């Protein structure tokens, strides 16, 4: 299918690179990463990536996929797909970094989100992006999901939350739903941040949830990846005031995402993903 639509590619090698809930990625000629939706719910996200990422990528301080080959639906495959230059690196979940090594990522990630969340990008792109379609900053919706995921993690014996987590969830559930104010990646977690052999951030992938929302939607990575001191360095690099409500929303979302990834890793028998996710839960539960 790739060869039919893009005969200029040699196709000397095609291999499955990664697979998640919604998409599969194939590495072609060790140069191009082709992204295919695996279910219809992911199609709108791929269409947004095709439309927005070529304009967004040159503006950002870390590498992100920029679609160059745009595949059309056909009799072989019913949905659009795209190819972007391969970003070398591995998932943080597989890198097995220590807290000290992760702390070195705080400033690059904070600076990246400062640019992504800039008023200029919001003014330029905001009107064509959906407003928090997964309701990740709406704590009346997200907190019950977080409680369910945490019960699931505890039920299979991976991790049990300390007592203060229940209090934070109760407090968060009473927060008002914020008005979308920035462009967000929408799903920044430990599988979507790539690191290279030097243990530096090499790119941010999987932009299918690109949207406008509250900054907490992306800042949650600071609670999943960093202990308290490194988290403050992350926030300083972000360069904007992060108030108590935003911090609480970010913490709750980090708990939700890490719990979901821990369960996913358990069912996929990925010890590395389970280990990284549980450590993220521990960081997000730090007082």
Tens of pLDDT, residue by residue over 47-92, are: 999 999 999 999 999 999 999 999 999 988 999 999 999 999 999 9
State the pLDDT at residue 54: 97
pLDDT (mean) for 276-280 = 97
Query: pLDDT band at 21, cuts 50/70/90?
Result: confident
Closest CA to 257 of 60, 93, 42: 93
Whether the per-residue pLDDT at 287 is higher than 90: the answer is no
Closest CA to 150 of 132, 133, 169, 135: 169
- In angstroms, what is the C-alpha Rg of the chain? 19
Q: What is the DSSP string of the chain?
A: -HHHH-TTS--S-EEEEEE-SSEEEEEETTTEEEEEESSGGGHHHHHHHHHHHHHHGGGSSS----EEEEEPP-SS-SS-EEEEE----EEHHHH---HHHHHTTHHHHHHHHHHHT-HHHHHHHGGGS-BSTT-SS-HHHHHHHHHHHHHHHHHTTS----HHHHHHHHHHHTSPPPPP-EEE-S--STTTEEE-TTSSEEEE---TT-EEE-THHHHHHHHHH--HHHHHHHHHHH-S---HHHHHHHHHHHHHHHHHHHHHHHHTT-HHHHHHHHHHHHHHT--
State the pLDDT at residue 240: 87
Domains and CATH numbers, the chain: 2-85 (3.30.200.20), 90-284 (3.90.1200.10)
**Structure tokens given for 197:** 């052999």
How many CB atoms are located within 10 Å of the residue 100 CB? 9
pTM for this model (two decimals): 0.95
pLDDT (mean) for 269-282 = 96
pLDDT (mean) for 33-49 = 96
Query: pLDDT band at 96, cuts 50/70/90?
Result: confident
Whether the per-residue pLDDT at 257 is higher than 90: the answer is yes
Mean pLDDT over all residues of the chain? Answer: 96
pLDDT (mean) for 44-49 = 96
Residue 160 neighbours by CB under 8 Å, 6+ apart? 154
Whether the per-residue pLDDT at 19 is higher than 90: the answer is no
Query: pLDDT band at 8, cuts 50/70/90?
Result: very high
pLDDT (mean) for 207-222 = 98
Angle at 36 between CA 30 and CA 41, to 5 degrees: 155
**Per-residue CA distances from 253 to 89, 216, 221, 269 (Å):** 25, 8, 9, 24
State the pLDDT at residue 108: 98
State the pLDDT at residue 87: 97
The share of the chain scoring above pLDDT 90, in percent, equals 95
């Amino acid at each position: 299918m790739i060869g039919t639509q893009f005969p200029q590619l040699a196709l000397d090698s095609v291999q499955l690179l990664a697979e998640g809930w919604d998409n599969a990625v194939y590495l072609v000629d060790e140069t191009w990463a082709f992204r295919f939706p695996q279910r219809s719910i992911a199609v709108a996200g791929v269409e947004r990536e095709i439309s927005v990422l070529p304009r967004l990528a040159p503006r950002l301080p870390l590498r992100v996929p920029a679609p160059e080959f745009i595949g059309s639906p056909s009799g072989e495959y019913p949905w659009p797909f795209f190819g972007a230059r391969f970003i070398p690196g591995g998932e943080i979940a597989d890198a097995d970094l220590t807290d000290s090594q992760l702390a070195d990522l705080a400033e690059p990630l904070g600076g990246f989100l400062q640019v992504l969340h800039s008023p200029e990008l919001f003014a330029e792109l905001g009107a064509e992006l959906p407003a928090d379609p997964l309701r990740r900053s709406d704590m009346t919706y997200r907190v019950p999901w977080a409680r369910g995921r945490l019960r699931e993690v505890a039920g299979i014996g991976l991790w049990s939350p300390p007592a203060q987590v229940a209090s934070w969830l109760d407090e968060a559930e009473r927060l008002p739903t914020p008005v979308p104010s920035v462009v967000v990646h929408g799903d920044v977690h430990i599988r979507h941040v790539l690191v290279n052999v030097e243990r530096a951030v090499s790119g941010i992938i999987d932009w299918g949830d690109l949207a406008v929302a509250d900054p907490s939607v992306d800042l949650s990575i600071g609670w999943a990846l960093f202990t308290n001191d490194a988290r403050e360095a992350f926030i300083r690099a972000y360069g904007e005031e992060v108030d108590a409500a935003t911090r609480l929303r970010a913490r709750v979302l980090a708990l939700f995402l890490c719990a979901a990834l821990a369960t996913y890793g358990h069912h996929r028998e990925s010890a590395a993903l389970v280990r990284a996710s549980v450590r993220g839960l521990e960081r997000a539960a730090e007082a």
